[in-house]
Amino acid sequence: MKLYSTNNTTLRADFATAVFQALPKDRGLYMLVDIPQLPLSFWEALPNLSLAEIGVAITKNLLGDSLPEDRIEALVEAAIDFPAPLVPLRRSERDGSNQYILELFHGPSLAFKDFGARFMAGVMDELLAAKGERLIILVATSGDTGGAVAAGFHGSDFIDVIILYPKGAVSDIQEAQLTTLGGNVSALRVDGTFDDCQAMVKQAFVDEGLRACVNISSANSINISRLIPQSFYYVDAYKQWLAAGEKGDPVFCVPSGNFGNLTAGLLAERMGLPVHKFIAATNANDTVTRYANSGTYAPKASVRTISNAMDVGAPSNFARMEDLFGSTWNTFKESVYAVSFDDKETERQMANCFTETKTEKGGYVLCPHTAVGLLALDKYQAEVEDVPGIVLGTAHPGKFLPDVERVLACKLELPEALETVRHLPREMKDIGYDYDALKAHVLNVWADRQGE
C-alpha cells in the first residue's frame, strides 16, 4: 500500500509512515495511490458475510502486505465487535420512497467514530509493539471523535492520548467521555472553536522541533487509517439493503462536518460499492454546500449549533474529496448533492420524526446530527428524485440529552454506559488558545512516560 500527498503526488509514503506521520510535511493529506476494486467473488459472497468479515476483506484489499493477513483478521475482529443495523423508518405522515437509518452508534462511545478509533488503536499498537516504541496521539474534537478515541486507546501500553476540545461547545455527556478516563488519556479545553483546536493539532505536526523530541500522530480523520474502517459499514449497509428487498442502488445521506465519513463512502464506491448518489447534509456550517452550489470553496469561521459535532468551518477532508474528483466541480456535483439546515429546522425534524413514528413503545428518537441527515434525504426525495435512501445515524441521542429532552418534551432513558459516565469525576486542563501551552503539555506527557 502506497500513499501520496494531496499537495504533491510525487511525495510518497508507506502505510506505517502515513499512520504515524498523519500529515505529510507539505500540509497535504495522505491518499491511496491505488484503490483496488474488490473482486467479483467478494460481491457474490456478500449476502453471507458478517460486518467483521466485510472489514477483513476490505482491509486486505487496501493494505496488501502492509500487515500480515492473520494480524489483519485479529485486529478487525477485535475492533468491530458490535453491529450496525439498518433500521426502516416508518413515518405515518409521509408518502414516498423508503427511508432507512444506518445505526452506527452501538459501539463503546455510542458514535460512528468507534469504528475508526478502535481500528486505529489496534493497528498502531501492532506496529508500535513490533518496533518497541511509544507514541502520543493528538486529536481535536467537536464532540464525538474525542470520546471514541479516548475509549479506543484507553489502557494502551504504547500510546498516550491528548484531546483538544472547544470550551462550552460539546455536550455535557460528550465532555464526560473525554475527561473521566484518566490514565493514558488527558483532555485540554480550548477557548475557541473546533477549527482552532484542529489548527493547533496541525501546527504540532509541522513543528520540527517538537517532532524531533516526541513521536506524535493524529486520530482525527486527517489520518488515513480512520477512513479505512469507516468504509466497512457502507458495504454492510448495502448487504442489508438488498436483504430488505430493495432493488436499485442506494442513496447514502451523510451528516457531515469534517467530511471524513463521506470520504470513506467515496472510497467504498471506488472499491466497487454500488451507489446511486451521496448526499452531504450540513448544518449552518455550510462551506461544502456553498461550494456545491457555486463552485467556489470559501471556508469560514465555524458557528455553534445543536448538531455540534458538525460545527466545522474548514473541513480537512475537502482536500481528499477534491483529489478524488480531480478538482472538477461538475464531477463533484454529479456524485454529491449538498444541502444545509439551521437549528430550527433540525429541532422540527426531531419532533416530527418522533411523532410520526410513535407506537405504544414510543417514537424513533434522532440525535441532532441524524436529524440533519433525515432533513436532507426528505429534501432530496421531494425535490430531486423520489428514490429510497439511507441516512447514516451518527450518534446515540442520549449524548445530547438536554436538547433532545427539550425538543421532544419527554424524558429519555439513557444507556447504562452514558448514565454511568455522566456522574464520574472529570479532569481537564484549560489552555486558552495557546499553542505553546499545548506543546508544553505534550512534552510533559512524553517526559513522564519516558521516565516510567
User: Does some domain include residue 131?
Assistant: yes
- State residue 222's pLDDT score: 82
- Which CATH number goes with the domain that contains 425? 3.40.50.1100
CB 156 within 8 A of CB 185: no
| Residue (of 150, 130, 132) closest to 141 by Cα position | 150
Residue 360 pLDDT class (50, 70, 90 cuts): confident
Residue 451 pLDDT class (50, 70, 90 cuts): low
Q: What is the mean pLDDT of residues 243-258?
A: 96
**Crossing angle for the helix pair 368-383 and 343-356, to the nearest 10 degrees:** 80
Domain count, the chain: 1
The three cell numbers locating residue 180: 473521566
Residue 218 pLDDT class (50, 70, 90 cuts): confident
Mention every residue, 6+ apart, whose C-beta is less than 8 A from residue 245. Answer: none
The three cell numbers locating residue 282: 450540513
CA-to-CA distance for 310 and 150, rounded, in angstroms? 19
User: Does some domain include residue 127?
Assistant: yes
CA-to-CA distance for 330 and 273, rounded, in angstroms? 21
- The larger pLDDT score, comparing residue 274 to residue 153, is at 274
Q: What is the pLDDT of residues 301-344, one digit of tens each?
A: 989 999 988 999 999 999 999 999 998 999 999 999 999 999 99
- State residue 163's pLDDT score: 95
User: Does some domain include residue 298?
Assistant: no
User: Does some domain include residue 441?
Assistant: yes
CB 189 within 8 A of CB 429: yes
**Does the pLDDT at position 450 exceed 80?**
no
**Does the pLDDT at position 452 exceed 60?**
no
Mention every residue, 6+ apart, whose C-beta is less than 8 A from residue 126. Answer: 67, 71, 75
User: Does some domain include residue 63?
Assistant: no
Biggest distance spanned by C-alpha atoms of the chain? 65
DSSP state of 101: E
Q: How many CB atoms lie within 10 A of CB 154?
A: 16
**Does the pLDDT at position 177 exceed 60?**
yes
Percent of the chain at pLDDT > 70 equals 100
User: Does some domain include residue 292?
Assistant: no
- The larger pLDDT score, comparing residue 198 to residue 356, is at 356
How far from the centroid of its chain's Cα atoms is residue 286's Cα? 18
CA-to-CA distance for 443 and 4, rounded, in angstroms? 29
**Does the pLDDT at position 433 exceed 60?**
yes
H helices of 366-432, in order, are 368-383, 401-408, 416-421
| Residue (of 49, 370, 397, 6) closest to 232 by Cα position | 49
Percent of the chain at pLDDT > 90 equals 79
pTM for this prediction = 0.91
How many degrees, rounded to 5, is the angle at CA 112 between CA 334 and CA 86? 75
CB 228 within 8 A of CB 59: yes
Q: What is the pLDDT of residues 261-283, one digit of tens each?
A: 999 999 999 999 999 999 999 99
Q: What is the mean pLDDT of residues 168-180?
A: 91
User: Does some domain include residue 381?
Assistant: no
Handedness of CA 123, 266, 86, 414 (dihedral sign): positive
CA-to-CA distance for 176 and 232, rounded, in angstroms? 28
- The larger pLDDT score, comparing residue 450 to residue 59, is at 59
CB 289 within 8 A of CB 352: no
How many degrees, rounded to 5, is the angle at CA 177 between CA 173 and CA 181? 145
Q: What is the pLDDT of residues 122-145, one digit of tens each?
A: 999 888 888 888 999 999 987 778
CA-to-CA distance for 349 and 408, rounded, in angstroms? 10
The helix (H) or strand (E) run that includes residue 267 is helix 260-270
Handedness of CA 322, 325, 326, 328 (dihedral sign): negative
- State residue 295's pLDDT score: 94
User: Does some domain include residue 140?
Assistant: yes
Reduced to 3 states (helix: H, G, I; strand: E, B; else coil), residue 167 is coil
Q: Mean pLDDT in the chain?
A: 93
CA-to-CA distance for 285 and 306, rounded, in angstroms? 12
| Residue (of 121, 369, 86) closest to 229 by Cα position | 121
- State residue 99's pLDDT score: 98
Q: Which domain holds residue 204?
A: 115-223+418-450
- State residue 56's pLDDT score: 97
Q: What is the mean pLDDT of residues 75-84?
A: 96
